[in-house]
Amino acid sequence: MADTPMRIGSVELPSPFAVAPMAGMTDSAFRRLVKRHGGCGLVVTEMVSSEGLVRGIDRTLEYAEYTEEERPVSIQIFGRDPEKMAAAAQIVEGMGADIVDVNMGCPVPKIAKHNAGCSLMREPEHAAAVIGAMAKAVKIPVTVKMRAGWNEHERNAPTLAKMVQDAGASAIAVHGRTAAQSYSGSADWDLVAAIADAIDIPVFGSGDCVEPEQIVAKLRAGVEGVLVGRGVLRNPWILAQAQDLAAGRPAREVTPEQRGRFLLDYIELLQHERVDDARATSHDKWVINKLRALATYYTKGLENGSHLRTAINTVQTLDGLRELIVDHFHASTTISG
């Protein structure tokens, strides 16, 4: 691993490993906790609508919120209109974010049908114009997250990467699948490494790193950074463990109590998030739903994980949720300890 710190424009990253943007998952509370566990060089918010930012919609602004301890932080926006995207970038800059990232990877029809997200990859010149307009409008670095392409016949990430670099992007991230693949098959890291080799700005690779060893291997195979998505949801220590390995140390071990504590801390932080009077009564439900979403990933590979997942999916109160987490992870400690 290079000894010089990684940079995106003028922003220095303390590590080349980052939390990938994940809608519905990587809220500020989750990002803070991952950051506290170490090894995390950059966090990216859930994707935020440029339209919503420009119109000042409360819900959109909530998605873009972050706390100081998350820095450096990148706010990811989606949209397709160059002027609106430039205006949204200025809002992001005004919010104090370190980086503004553009979503050119989302395959979800709700986004793609507005010709935003990954469908922008089908109009590379327009996509480059969006980046050009944004780069002119702000001083903070503008970055792009893309896929390998739209489908197997349109794997144009190498061309688009060069085009957005020339338009003013300071870094890119490539998830090595096409939109048509969604999450099936596997990410093509050879393609990602070839792009990193061909362009001058830093390239993050993304896809399928679920063990810390894989993160380090990808870095050594030729990208400047690695964005980890689902692997962080399964194991929030994965970036710290990758950093251990990259420094030649054994990866730190995580005890069942620590895994239980993470969930309890997440509940605690969420209880203070997005609280407003109008939604007070449903806030507990919102926290429970957040835990259910995380549990889908977090319980994978855990001892009795499917049992815990089912229990979290049926519990109705926050007290009940806390209790079953305490029971589960204490029980595991006794068995394995």
Pick between residue 176 and residue 256 the one whose CB is nearest to ligand FMN.
176
Residue 277 DSSP class: G
Residues in contact with ligand FMN by the rule CB under 6 A: 20-25, 46-47, 76, 103, 105-106, 145, 175, 206-209, 228-231
- Give the nearest residue (CB) to ligand FMN: 229
Residue 170 DSSP class: S
Min separation Cβ 44 and ligand FMN, Å: 7
Which residues, including other chains, have CB under 8 Å from residue 194's CB and lie 6 or more apart?
Answer: 158
Pick between residue 20 and residue 263 the one whose CB is nearest to ligand FMN.
20
Min separation Cβ 295 and ligand FMN, Å: 13
Main-chain dihedrals φ then ψ at residue 286, nearest 5 degrees: -60, -45
Stretch (H or E) spanning 297: helix 280-298
**DSSP per-residue codes, 235-276:** -TTHHHHHHHHHTTSPPPP--HHHHHHHHHHHHHHHHTSS--
Task: Judge contact between 225 and 204, C-beta under 8 A.
Answer: yes
- Compute the distance between CA of residue 309 and CA of residue 299 in angstroms, rounded to an integer: 6
Min separation Cβ 323 and ligand FMN, Å: 27
Pick between residue 50 and residue 206 the one whose CB is nearest to ligand FMN.
206
The beta strand positions in 86-207, using DSSP E, are 99-104, 142-149, 171-178, 203-206
Min separation Cβ 297 and ligand FMN, Å: 8
- Compute the distance between CA of residue 311 and CA of residue 283 in angstroms, rounded to an integer: 20
Pick between residue 22 and residue 131 the one whose CB is nearest to ligand FMN.
22
Main-chain dihedrals φ then ψ at residue 171, nearest 5 degrees: -165, 160
Pick between residue 5 and residue 24 the one whose CB is nearest to ligand FMN.
24
Pick between residue 128 and residue 215 the one whose CB is nearest to ligand FMN.
215
Task: Judge contact between 145 and 104, C-beta under 8 A.
Answer: yes
- Compute the distance between CA of residue 61 and CA of residue 186 in angstroms, rounded to an integer: 34
Q: Assess whether 118 carries a catalytic annotation.
A: no
What are 58's two structure tokens?
């409360």
Distance from CA of residue 322 to its chain's centroid? 26
Min separation Cβ 205 and ligand FMN, Å: 9
How many helices (DSSP H) and strands (DSSP E) are in the chain? 15, 11
Min separation Cβ 30 and ligand FMN, Å: 12
Max Cα-Cα span within the chain: 59
* Given the residues 40, 106, 118, 209, the one annotated as active site: 106
Active site residues: 106
